[in-house]
Amino acid sequence: MNEMSEKINAANELLEAFEFEGELKNISQLHDGHINNTYVFDFEDNGRLRRYLVQILNTYVFKKPDELMNNVVGVTRHLRKAVIANGGDPERECLTVYPAKDGKPYHIDSEGNFWRCYNFISDAHSCQSVDSPEVFFNAAKAFGKFQQMLADYPGETLSETIPNFHNTESRFADFKKAVADNLSGRADSVREEIAFVCEREADCSVLVDLLKAGELPLRVTHNDTKLNNVMFDNKSNEGICVVDLDTVMPGLSLYDFGDSIRFGASTASEDEKDLSKVSMSLELFRAYTLGYLSAAGESLTAKEIEYLPFSSKLMTLECGMRFLGDYINGDVYFKTAYPEHNLDRCHTQFVLVADMEKKMDEMKKIVADCCKELGIEK
C-alpha cells in the first residue's frame, strides 16, 4: 500500500488509540530518514495549534519493537530529568513518548503497523546538509551534550535493538554473505566496489579489537548521529534536541563521532551522482571536532581521542558497505527512491573513505590542535 493511503486509513484508528487533544486538521509527511515513516499530525485545540510527531516503526529493521520502545521510554525519561536539572525546556529539548490509551508506548493497527507518538519540537528545524561550519559545530555540541546526559544511564538495562549494529567485523561478514548469496544478481556489475571493501577488511576489526582488549570504554551512545537527527532552534541555530533514539545502545563514542563526520563533513549529499563534488571538508572536520571536544572532551580517554580520525573513515566505510550490501541483496533494508539509489550512496561513501585516507595526517593534526585550543591534556 502506498504511504499516503496508509496514513489516511490509519488516522481514525489512531484517534481512537491515542489521547490527542483537539480536532485533527492536517497530516503531513516528513522525508528525513531511510528507515521509519514519519508524519506530523496537526490538531486545533480551542483555537490553539497542537502538533504531534507520529511514526510507523520499521519492524523489518527493528525486529523487537517492544524492547526498543522500552529503551526509548527509559532514555527519554532520563533525558527529561537531565534537561530540567540543567534549567532547559523539556518540551523542546527532549522527546517525550505519548503512550496509547491502553498504557502501552505504541499502538499496533489492524494492518499490523507499529505506531508511536512523540511531542513535536516547535520552532525548530533539521538540516539535510551543512551550509556553514557553525551549524556543524552546533550539531557537535548537541551530540556531545547528549552523550554527557546519558553518561550515568545504566547501559546494561538497554536491549540491543539491532545486534552488532556498529560491529564492523560482523558487518563485513554480512557483506561477504550478501556477495556470496547475490540475491539480486547484481554482484557481477559491482566487482570494483566489492574489491574496494575487501581491500579494507583489516580496518573492520580495529575498534572491535580495542573494545575487546579493554582499551576503549563501552558507553551509552546514539549510534545514528546524522546531522538530520538534531533539531536546531529557528532563532539561535543552536542544536537543541537530539532525535531518532531507536539505536541508543551501549556502544563506542567513536561510532557517534565517526558517523557524524561521515554525513556532515561531506561536501555533497549522501546520494550525489556527480562524484567530483564529493570530498571530506577539513574545515568541517575541524568545526565538528572542536564542538564535540568542547562538550564531551573532558570525559573522553586518550585512546578515544586518538582514534577520532580513524573512526570517521571506518564509519564511512561501514555505511558504504551496508549500502552496497543492500544493493546486492535487492534493496530490502534502506528506503530507496530509484533502482540505483543504494549504489549511488555507496559511491559517495567510498569516495569519502579514499579522501579521508589521503587526509588522515591532517585530520590527526586538527584533533591535536583542537585539544590544545581547549586545554584538553590526556
Which residues of this chain interact with Mg ion, rule CB under 5 A? 33, 229, 244
Binding residues for ligand GN1 restricted to 22-41, rule: CB under 6 A: 33-35
CB of 247 to ligand GN1, least distance (A): 5
Q: Pick the closer one to ligand GN1 by CB: 116 or 226.
A: 226
| Residue 296 to residue 331: CA distance in whole angstroms | 37
Helix ranges (DSSP H) in the chain: 3-17, 65-85, 90-93, 133-149, 168-181, 191-198, 206-212, 253-264, 282-296, 302-306, 308-329, 341-374
| 224 touches ligand GN1 by CB under 6 A | yes
**How many amino acids of this chain bind ligand GN1 (CB under 6 A)?**
11
How far apart CA 304 and CA 298 sit, in angstroms, is: 11
Q: Which is nearer to ligand GN1, 270 or 272 (CB)?
A: 270
226 binds ligand GN1 (CB under 6 A): yes
Element (H, E) at 30: strand 23-30
**Residue 256 lies near ligand GN1 (rule: CB under 6 A):** no
Does residue 244 touch ligand GN1 according to CB under 6 A?
yes
The answer to whether residues 208 and 214 touch, using CB atoms and an 8 Å cutoff, is no
Quickly tell me which residue has 484508528 as its cell: 13
Strand partners, 117: 54
> CB 308 → ligand GN1: shortest distance, Å?
18
User: CB of residue 95 vs ligand GN1: minimum separation in angstroms?
Assistant: 14
Residue 14 in grid coordinates: 489512531
Query: Under the criterion CB under 6 A, does residue 247 sit at the interface with ligand GN1?
Result: yes
Q: Work out what residue 320 binds among ligand GN1, Mg ion, none; the CB cut-off runs from 5 to 8 Å by kind.
A: none
Judged by beta carbon distances under 5 to 8 A according to partner kind, the member of ligand GN1, Mg ion, none in contact with residue 222 is none
Residue number with CB closer to ligand GN1 (72 or 371): 72
State how far the alpha carbon of 161 is from the alpha carbons of 61, 164, 175, 245, in Å: 9, 9, 20, 10
Q: How far is CA 251 from CA 157, 196, 211, 337, in A?
A: 13, 26, 10, 31
254 touching ligand GN1, by CB under 6 A: no
For the bound state, the minimum distance from the C-beta of residue 327 to ligand GN1, rounded and expressed in Å, comes to 13
> Is residue 336 part of the contact set for ligand GN1 (CB under 6 A)?
no
Which segment (68-76, 92-100, 132-140, 223-231) binds ligand GN1 by CB under 6 A?
A: 223-231
Minimum distance, C-beta of residue 283 to Mg ion, in the bound complex (Å): 25
Are the C-beta atoms of 187 and 175 separated by less than 8 Å? Answer: no
Residue 200 interacting entry, from ligand GN1, Mg ion, none, C-beta within 5 to 8 Å by type: none
Binding mask 314-333 for ligand GN1 (x = CB under 6 A): -----x--------------
d(CA 26, CA 291): 38
The yes or no reply on residue 229 touching ligand GN1 (CB under 6 A) is: yes
How far is CA 284 from each of CA 135, 161, 267, 363, rounded to the nearest angstrom? 10, 31, 9, 11
The per-residue DSSP string of 311-324 comes to HHHHHHHHHHHHHH
Binding site for ligand GN1 (CB under 6 A): 33-35, 61, 224, 226, 229, 244, 247, 270, 319
